[in-house]
A = this chain, B = another copy of it.
């Protein structure tokens, strides 16, 4: 059935139970059975040659387009996915898949460990970006898709897209990497470590064993506050909030919140706590910090396995994944004589730009996908 952006979408799940029912993880540990949550938009053609795989960010999910029953807001990339949009669902079959280690339907630390009948908590094995990709490959194989037109994502999603190009080069015709990098820097690791210490320092965290009890809400909220600041730019925060006061005519001269930016952070982080699992934040942030495409010490050597066409996009005001980091990626790809389009978009929206700048991205993605046909 053709997809329409007004459609009510249900997230589907699939559990891989057959032998081999366990995934060998990069850490050496095993994980299984594995459930994956995903959504699809558009129709898979008869040749199964029009599939595009979409990946989400650290705290997002498989719900990229259309509406969930009762929701007023559509999926996170609804501006980009649909009939006639950047990812044209009249042409392509879009698959949006949730990562393992998360808490949005795929197997993660809040899932029930079949061996104990209780939530994994910290006994959940450590997963890497590569492990997420290995799990996604099970889904693509299950669907009988031999080759993807494109793997695409922003931020943590961009890392998965990139990883596909070297783990499954024969399966990946093109790759779109937005606001991402090839390895986490000291600053990025440091910001994540603040988030982890905030969670693990919350007395309600109980070494990850809090399911069914009080959740480490304060710690998780703090993590999210830091996150939000890094997702916006100095300029976008100034334009949105400046020094606007909450409701008072004057400053309070106390430790209550005075400024709108403070109450915004509180509101957003309090909402976040209700929808995201603290342990997943630990697992996924650590997976990001471990991420390093130059596994053997040479980035260009790692990319020598890739065969795809690449579209690499960054944003001028993104200070979390700055433009220079995309340039490093582009250089290592070009050294391998790969087909690389390298675009820097002028935007004040910081790292969030990849969700906001749909118009600019659409102009890039449409012709790129046309050229990237299998």
The residue on B at minimum CB distance from A196 is B255
Name, among A27, A197, A319, the residue most crowded by chain B CB atoms within 10 Å (CB to CB): A197
Contact of A186 among B186, B187, B238, B290 (CB under 8 A): B238
Q: Name A240's contact: one of B29, B122, B186, B258 (CB within 8 Å).
A: B186
- Knowing that A26-B253, A185-B243 are A-B contacts, what are 7 other residue pairs whose CB atoms are under 8 Å apart, sorted by A's residue number? A28-B253, A186-B240, A189-B259, A197-B222, A255-B286, A258-B289, A319-B319
A364 at the interface (CB under 8 A from B): no
A226 touches B (CB below 8 Å): yes
Decide: A198 and B198 in contact? CB cutoff 8 A: yes
Taking a contact as CB atoms closer than 8 A, the residue among B193, B203, B225 that contacts A261 in the complex is B193
Complex interface: chain B residues within 8 A of A193 (CB): 225, 257, 259, 261-262, 265
A76 within 8 Å of B by Cβ?
A: no
> A187–B26 Cα gap in the complex (Å)?
38
* Chain B residues, CB < 8 A from A190: 225, 228-229, 237, 261-262, 265
Within 8 A of B (CB), among A84-129: 122, 126
**Closest CB in chain B relative to A235 CB, distance in Å:** 9
- Please encode chain A, from 172 to 205, with 1 for each CB lying within 8 Å of some chain B CB and 0 for all others: 0000000000011111011101101110110100
Total copies of the chain: 2
Interface size on A, residues (CB 8 A): 56
A289 vs chain B, min Cβ distance (A):
7
Is A242 part of the contact surface with B, judged by Cβ < 8 Å?
yes
Q: Collect the chain B residues with CB atoms within 8 Å of residue A259's CB.
A: 186, 189, 193, 289
Measured CB to CB, the residues of A under 8 A from B are 26-29, 122, 126, 183-187, 189-191, 193-194, 196-198, 200-201, 203, 218-219, 221-222, 225-226, 228-229, 232, 234, 237-238, 240-243, 251, 253-255, 257-259, 261-262, 265-266, 282, 286, 289-290, 292, 319, 322
Residues in B whose Cβ lies below 8 Å from that of A186: 237-238, 240-243, 259, 261
Which of A219, A232, A255, A261 is the most central at the interface, judged by chain B CB atoms within 10 Å of its CB? A255
A10 to chain B, nearest CB (A): 34
Partner pick for A229 among B191, B228, B254, CB 8 A cutoff: B191
18 pairs across A/B with beta carbons < 8 Å?
A26-B253, A126-B253, A189-B259, A190-B265, A193-B225, A193-B259, A194-B226, A197-B221, A197-B225, A197-B266, A198-B198, A222-B222, A226-B226, A243-B292, A251-B290, A255-B282, A258-B289, A319-B319
Residue in B191, B237, B286 whose beta carbon sits within 8 Å of that of A185 in the complex = B237
A238–B122 Cα gap in the complex (Å)?
A: 30
Nearest-CB distance from A350 to chain B (Å)?
10
Query: Shortest Cβ distance from A236 into chain B, in angstroms?
Result: 9
Given A254-B126, A255-B122, A292-B243, does the pair A201, B222 have CB atoms closer than 8 Å? yes
Inter-subunit contact B183/A243 (CB<8 Å)? yes
Residues of B within 8 A of A265 (CB): 190, 193-194
Complex Cα distance A286/B126, Å? 40
Q: Which of B28, B191, B243, B266 is in CB contact (< 8 Å) with A184?
A: B243
Once the chains bind, are A222 and B194 in contact (CB under 8 Å)?
yes
Shortest CB–CB separation between residue A74 and chain B, in angstroms?
28
A319 neighbours in B (Cβ, 8 Å): 234, 319
